[in-house]
Structure 1
């Protein structure tokens, strides 16, 4: 793949990430912010300490701050995923641009977020010991790194086993190896149970589901949009043929 194609794919990846970020921002605002406000209200109700005025107001955090964080993250992961796409296209099976984009988005959602989330789920304000926040953050990113590296190793293992076992059996063996090693990481890495007895379980559950919904929205929209953009760039004939066929079908249905 030449440098012009890589640059064009990088731009499309960042654009797809921006679009995905806009929709993920809407999910975060409408599903997550009310839970954050409720958790902050609980924290303030049980706290007798007053540290003075906030450096950044809650209104700014929930609007401009949230938008900046989500959109910048969307553009960043879009660019990274586009570079991964450049390497993966044609190397992970006989998949076209759209299918490759969908596979990358699904694998990223699983390895970058879902697997670490199951070990170290997100917590709202008022949950967690401030003294352990550094350790918890470090372990979460360690889990992300392990998950991504093990996923890459599983892909390499699957490709090496494919000539002997066949593609299907090699994929199952590589996936099983990934699950086993991740299970060992779950077992040996420390866990944290710092949810207070007075914190509502329903609010905690809703907050965690909201954070998961943000990531699912982000990666799903990215996979769909980026797949469409890459197919138009790399296989314009197939994309136009598919559009013409769909238009012909609609015309025939209307005539019938």
Structure 2
């Protein structure tokens, strides 16, 4: 059964990745292209403000030529986007199926679709939305090249912390539900998670490298498209996997009997 759920979870993740790629291409790529145009315009303006250094009378050092792209922009926005989001969807789908197998039956006598829906909502908040609030995604031309390593470490560190606190909150919430009831236990667990993550967000470093001249509309469009892409992926994954899990568990009932 575990293998069946894993395969169906990866399949659901692949389909979700395809739909998320389509959403990102339609709604995210325009803001990415606009940000790239701003970055190229700023680079060109910066190069024109510096006169070439002379090495002798009537001679000048040639201007530095821009580096040639190893992968064209068209490939990045199509095949590259599909590959990245698709692999991400497959990985998330596999992990999601393992989490489903662990929690199914431990949240009460809930149907597979309901369990998958609750797990999807919790995973979206813990894995993406809360870390996004602290360290939101930025388009090209935003952020200093020298801090990319630090920014990446802080983001994934915050994701790992959010996941750990979320798992602990779910475990304590299950114990509290036995004593105080399901609703009270769930509310206390959610409150504990939110308070802990709010404190962690306050203590962790703030990164704000958005230039004052960067258009707010482009930044807003990019970030809303990022949220929409993740919503598309997670909602599709939850709905598809819930249906797949229902069929798999239904087929296994006669065997178990």
Q: Which of the residues 136, 156, 170 maps onto 2:185?
A: 170
1:217-228 aligned at under 5 Å gives the runs 217-228=232-243
| Residue matched to 1:106 | 121
What is the CA distance between 1:232 and its match in structure 2? 1.4
- Is 1:193 equivalent to 2:208 in the alignment? yes
What is the CA distance between 1:171 and its match in structure 2? 1.1
- Is 1:125 equivalent to 2:121 in the alignment? no
Cα-Cα RMSD: 1.4
Runs (4 or more) in structure 1 with deviation over 2 Å come to 48-51, 235-238
What is the CA distance between 1:94 and its match in structure 2? 2.1
Deviation sequence 1:187-236 (CA, Å, 0-9, x none): 00011111111110010000000010000000000100110111112135
Q: Which of the residues 165, 168, 174 maps onto 1:153?
A: 168
CA distance in 2, matches of 1:138, 1:167: 37
CA distance in 2, matches of 1:205, 1:170: 37
| Residue matched to 1:249 | none
| SS, match of residue 15 in structure 2 | helix
CA distance in 1, matches of 2:4, 2:126: 26
| SS, match of residue 175 in structure 2 | helix
| Residue matched to 2:51 | none
Structure 2 unaligned residues grouped into runs of 5+: 48-64
CA distance in 1, matches of 2:75, 2:161: 35
Q: Which of the residues 35, 39, 43 maps onto 1:43?
A: 39
1:30-109 aligned at under 5 Å gives the runs 30-48=26-44, 50-109=65-124
TM-score by length of 1: 0.88
CA distance in 1, matches of 2:195, 2:245: 34
CA distance in 2, matches of 1:191, 1:15: 38
| Residue matched to 1:230 | 245
Q: Which of the residues 155, 162, 169 maps onto 1:140?
A: 155
CA distance in 2, matches of 1:174, 1:228: 28
Structure 1 unaligned residues grouped into runs of 5+: 239-256
CA distance in 2, matches of 1:170, 1:52: 57
Structure whose CA Rg is larger: 2
TM-score by length of 2: 0.88
| Residue matched to 2:52 | none
- Is 1:14 equivalent to 2:10 in the alignment? yes
CA distance in 1, matches of 2:161, 2:225: 25
Q: Which of the residues 28, 33, 46 maps onto 2:24?
A: 28
What is the CA distance between 1:130 and its match in structure 2? 1.1
| Residue matched to 1:242 | none
